[in-house]
Amino acid sequence: MNLVEVRAVVRDAHGNAIGNLKQEDFQLFDNGKPQVITRFSVEESGARPPAIKAVKEEASPEAPGAASPLPKHYVAYLFDDIHLQFGDLTQVRSAAIRHFQNLQATDRAAVFTTSGQVQLDFTDDREKLKETLNRIRPTSIATTGATECPNISYYMADLIVNKNDNQALQVATQDALDCAFQGGPTVKSAEAAQMTQQAGQMAKTAARRQLQLGDHETHVSLATLRDVVRRISAMPGQRSILIVSPGFYNPDELWEQNVLAEQALHSYVTISALDARGLYNDMPDASTKRVPAPPFLQLVLQYQHDEAFANADVLSELANSTGGTFFHGNNDLDQGFKQLDSPPEHSYLLAFSPQDLKYDGRFHNVKVTVKGPQKFAIQARKGYYAPRQAVGEAEQAKQQIQDEVFSQEELHELPVEMHTQFFKTTDDEARLSVLVKLDVPRLHYRKANGRNNNNLTVVSALFDRNGNYVTGVQKVVQMHWKDETLSSKVASGVTVKTSFDVKPGSYVVRLVVRDDEGQLAAQNGAIEIP
């Protein structure tokens, strides 16, 4: 079953997020065709995650101390050092350092850069966060800091090479005449024609080179963001990514961008973005660029204006697709960090299974509406790409288990009870055991050949105090009981034991159990080993 997930934020006329709508209030359209909403949930950003239950200690030689507050909100800050200019980076870095001083005891922050040269995994150590931020420097791949001849941006290069925009080529050719031929001859002649031809060839060569470099920068930026989505998806709590960037152009990696948004949606990751340019204008900077003479000046200004909006499209689309916020056109970066660290109070996760879906990789337009006469502003993804191949049931089951391991939601569809016990083996080592009791008679079975059949996949996982995955073990319990066995020998239940060798510290124990029917149980436990 192919499930398309759509996160929607619905706002009233005052911009306030609405949280009292029901499934029947929504309509979903795929390429204009109405769809049946098969899954629906309301998410509240201010709601506390499911409580970590106190764990019953058995056979422990000493009682553990009180566990430190467990993290519940993870934010990955991705600084786009590939596209950030030094002046903008200085401003946003200072604002971020001030912002990190207000981290709560249950917050964990990580710092990543699109170049991959600077990173810090999730922590609550403010000094480490500050030190990491101070190591970030602009790391452009496509520019050297000097004015090129001719000076062609990635946006214009795409127009010239991929879109055969003759007007953009004329602008670049004139820039080549200005910088390489002192503006060219003032009268028409054979020499002038040859000079213009040479300038045009320079413009085409520069455009191809800039397009290649720009494509590479965009690919690296999106690949890094996808890695960050994958990393934060492994954190057991509320998950947000905040991209700090001036924006970047993406003419050819739309499939990759959509897959990235799909992964974020599927993992309940909200992506927000802060435009590091703040309030910006499109006027050429005379200190770094040649200012063209009319009539080319107006064309250059128009291209720069269009490019500025195109660069912001990626940030805007990712925020809209995942239920995040795009903060732009504002120099109050402190307010930006504060606003983006507080996602919309209410959002809705809708899902549908497209009927007769073709595995052709084509783009499908998605539209979300709310029934009734009242007008709402709806923020949601604009579409999705059809998969190129079907996903089998075994792979879907594997993905479902993995999703639940890295969640904090508690589920009780199966009769399961979890306990833990530990004992110290040395002063700095301990053996931690997770005991899972299965209430076997209350499970559902498929009757075949006189036996009651079901298989349970039992996963026990450990996370440290920062929510980082430590280790996990998966076991499969195969059950093919005869009626008499089910009513006598295993009537009291079956216990599955998993043991871990650990160091002293605070741990979160996550249990996930799934049966062949897709029924789930998921429980949390907290334990402090002195």
Residue 221 near residue 82 (C-beta atoms within 8 A): yes
Could you give the strand order of the β-sheet that contains 107-113, starting from the edge strand earlier in sequence? 119-123, 107-113, 73-79, 238-245, 269-275, 326-327
Mean pLDDT of 17-33: 94
Tokens, residue 381: 């993804």
Kindly report the pTM of this predicted structure.
Answer: 0.73
Each residue's pLDDT tens digit, 318-377:
998 888 889 999 999 999 998 887 667 888 888 898 988 888 888 899 999 999 888 899
> Looking at residue 306, what is its pLDDT?
92
The answer to whether residue 174 scores a pLDDT higher than 50 is yes
Mean pLDDT of 197-209: 94
Task: Sort strands 429-438 and 416-426 into parallel, antiparallel or unpaired.
Answer: antiparallel
Q: How far apart are CA 75 and CA 80, in angstroms?
A: 16
Could you give the strand order of the β-sheet that contains 377-379, starting from the edge strand earlier in sequence? 37-44, 346-352, 4-11, 377-379
Distances (CA, A) of 383 to 71, 355, 380: 33, 16, 9
Q: What is the DSSP letter of 68?
A: P
> Looking at residue 455, what is its pLDDT?
93
Mean pLDDT of 468-490: 89
Residue 47 near residue 508 (C-beta atoms within 8 A): no
Map out the domains of the chain as residue ranges.
4-43+347-382, 73-143+221-281+312-340, 154-210, 394-529
Tokens, residue 65: 């101390």
The answer to whether residue 57 scores a pLDDT higher than 80 is no
Each residue's pLDDT tens digit, 70-86:
677 899 999 999 999 99
What is the dihedral sign for C-alpha 158, 145, 293, 194?
A: negative
The answer to whether residue 263 scores a pLDDT higher than 80 is yes
| CB-CB neighbours of 387 under 10 Å | 15
Q: What is the DSSP letter of 279?
A: S
Return the amino acid letter for 349.
L
Each residue's pLDDT tens digit, 99-129:
999 888 888 999 999 999 999 999 999 999 9
Q: How far apart are CA 209 and CA 155, in angstroms?
A: 13
Q: How confident is the model at residue 247 (pLDDT cuts 50, 70, 90)?
A: very high
Q: What is the C-alpha radius of gyration for the chain, rounded to an integer number of angstroms?
A: 28
> Looking at residue 168, what is its pLDDT?
94
| CB-CB neighbours of 407 under 10 Å | 22
Phi, psi values for residue 173, rounded to 5°: -65, -40
Q: How far apart are CA 514 and CA 476, in angstroms?
A: 10
Q: How confident is the model at residue 58 (pLDDT cuts 50, 70, 90)?
A: very low
The answer to whether residue 40 scores a pLDDT higher than 70 is yes
**Is 2.60.40.10 the CATH number for 394-529?**
yes
Tokens, residue 290: 């040649």
Mean pLDDT of 298-327: 90
Across all residues in the chain, what is the average pLDDT? 86
Q: How confident is the model at residue 137 (pLDDT cuts 50, 70, 90)?
A: very high
> Looking at residue 194, what is its pLDDT?
87
> Looking at residue 417, what is its pLDDT?
93
% of residues, the chain, pLDDT over 90: 50
Q: How confident is the model at residue 241 (pLDDT cuts 50, 70, 90)?
A: very high
> Looking at residue 285, what is its pLDDT?
52
> Looking at residue 517, what is its pLDDT?
84
Each residue's pLDDT tens digit, 364-388:
999 999 998 888 999 888 888 888 7
List of residues 6+ apart from 298 with CB closer than 8 A: none
The reply to whether domains 73-143+221-281+312-340 and 394-529 share a CATH topology is no
> Looking at residue 53, what is its pLDDT?
38
Q: How confident is the model at residue 1 (pLDDT cuts 50, 70, 90)?
A: low
Phi, psi values for residue 214, rounded to 5°: -65, -40
CATH number attached to the domain at 73-143+221-281+312-340: 3.40.50.410
> What is the per-residue DSSP string for 430-479?
EEEEEEEEE-GGGS--EEETTEEEEEEEEEEEEE-TT--EEEEEEEEEEE
> Looking at residue 291, what is its pLDDT?
65
Among candidate residues 176, 82, 93, 168, the one with its CA nearest the CA of residue 130: 93
Mean pLDDT of 301-306: 89
What is the dihedral sign for C-alpha 502, 507, 509, 510?
A: negative
Higher pLDDT, 34 or 406: 34
Higher pLDDT, 205 or 322: 205
Each residue's pLDDT tens digit, 145-158:
667 888 899 999 99
% of residues, the chain, pLDDT over 70: 90
Mean pLDDT of 483-502: 88
Each residue's pLDDT tens digit, 413-448:
899 999 999 999 999 999 999 999 999 888 889 999
List of residues 6+ apart from 386 with CB closer than 8 A: 354, 357, 358, 359, 360, 361, 362, 363, 364
Q: What is the DSSP letter of 23?
A: G
Distances (CA, A) of 109 to 43, 235, 451, 488: 22, 11, 52, 52
Mean pLDDT of 49-71: 44
